[in-house]
Amino acid sequence: MFRFVCIVLIAFVAVRGEDEIDNEESRPNLDSFEDEDFETEAPRADEAQDDVPSADQREKSQEELLTELDQQIEENEKQEEINDDDNEDIDKIIISPDRAPTVTLKSGREMPMLGLGTYRLGKSVYKITKEALEIGYRLIDTAKIYEAGRGETSEAAIGRAIENSGVSRDEIFIITKVMPNDFAMSKLRAAVQDSLKKLRTEYIDLLMIHYPDCGEDPSCRATGTYLEGWKNMLQLVEEGIVKDLGISNFFTEEVEKLWVEGGQRISLMQNWLDPYFQDSQTRIITTRTGIQFQAYSVLGAGWLDDGMRKNPILNDKTIKEIASKHLATPAQVVLKWAMARNIAVIPSTTNSTRLYANFNSYKLNIDEQDLKRIDGLDGKIQPLIAYGNSQQKAGGGIFTLMANIASKVKSFLGVGSAGGEL
């Protein structure tokens, strides 16, 4: 009997060990969609690392150790693939060191339509960022809360990668983000100065408000409202250390309030968007106001974080048919569709081949009929996790109302729909 009890206890412990999963913070982390198809968690700063420095290495500088560890990762570690599309024919991809198309922001400055997202790249941030710059990527998206492992932030790893890439700083468009913790001027200035130091730059191309409020995040302590934070960010633009401003995870009511009361200076809006979730209500506002829309999770990672076991976007029948027709990968088709609809994209991957594939997506020529087939996928499934505010679900605020009225009037007069393709 005693032996039987021991066996049962051992089996129970083994099963529990296999089933353990690290929990995310209590607030649904919307940036979990940020790779565009990222599935894995970034290593926490306090996680035990496999790469332990030897006695000789302890005498070297922190930066030298980090660089050596990055080289070991590149040479010895088999990186996990982020893109959940095992059936893609990567051999079809033509690699070229060209530059992605750009869009002119409200400030008059140019921003690449295609860039690299770095959320949850973990200890691959340095390696992938450096490779991306060598390929031709010229936009890097990060945030103060992103980590790169080994106690290093994503910003710091990106700063090292840029410095060692051989690419001139003035060719690179850097986006970073601040949380509500930093809305007060003293906090904001300190946060931006810290970012400048880590990124090894004298200015930030575009600074974003990461979230309008703390929500249910227990680690977040807002030091002001998003409107107060925005006005303080405008001061940094006047000082020249920030060139453009943007917002992330905002929705209709919040965007309208900030647009009216914040000086109409919003250059970029970054939200979750993919073929199944096209954020049409928010995009009505960006279209009307001239704010550039940029999508994260455009390749479907949002659905994985929403609880689905398989990426529905990269496995969608329609998207695969279009990919086969154009001798492309599903990921390339989705990225090209977004850019064709004037949506900037920031896909991520820890896989070097897919990094090339994503970059080359802008070269595809997809006909309007196929683009409309992807437009038609909007709402095919609905998120389980609430995303967006009640204003969006109720049909939006004044901009949305005006657009809907104009659309009905034009439809009645037989002169087409308002706003064109969204």
Taking CA atoms, 320 is separated from 64, 164, 292, 295, 304, in Å, by: 44, 38, 28, 21, 19
Q: Give the H/E segment covering residue 63.
A: helix 62-76
What is the DSSP secondary-structure string of 96-154?
------EEE-TTS-EEESB-EE-TT-GGGHHHHHHHHHHHT--EEE--TT-EEETTEEH
Taking CA atoms, 101 is separated from 90, 112, 305, 382, in Å, by: 22, 6, 30, 32
Give the residues across from 208 on adjacent strands: 177, 246
The answer to whether the CB of 229 falls within 8 A of the CB of 180 is yes
CA 227/CA 108 separation, integer angstroms: 23
SS3 content of the chain, % helix, strand, coil (to 5): 45, 10, 45
pLDDT at 264: 87
Q: Which domains are delineated in the chain?
A: 90-375 (3.20.20.100)
pLDDT at 383: 83
CA 46/CA 295 separation, integer angstroms: 30
Q: Which residues contact 229 (CB under 8 A, 6 or more apart)?
A: 178, 180, 182, 183, 184, 188, 209
Catalytic residue IDs: 146
pLDDT at 1: 54
CA 352/CA 79 separation, integer angstroms: 9
DSSP strand pairing (204-209 vs 268-272): unpaired
The answer to whether the CB of 289 falls within 8 A of the CB of 264 is yes
Dihedrals phi, psi of 195, to nearest 5 degrees: -65, -45
Q: What is the pLDDT along the chain (422 residues), one digit of tens a residue?
A: 555 544 444 444 444 443 333 333 333 333 333 334 443 333 333 333 344 444 444 445 656 656 665 565 555 444 444 443 333 443 433 344 578 999 999 999 999 999 999 998 999 999 999 999 999 999 999 999 999 988 899 999 999 999 999 999 999 999 999 999 999 999 999 999 999 999 999 999 999 999 999 998 999 999 999 999 999 999 999 999 999 999 999 999 999 999 999 988 999 999 999 999 999 999 999 999 999 999 999 999 988 888 888 999 999 999 999 999 999 999 999 999 999 999 999 999 999 999 999 999 999 999 999 999 999 999 998 887 767 643 344 344 444 444 444 444 333 344 333 322 22
For residue 26, give the amino acid letter. Answer: S
Dihedrals phi, psi of 414, to nearest 5 degrees: 75, 30
Residue 306, SS3? coil
**Counting every residue, how long is the chain?**
422
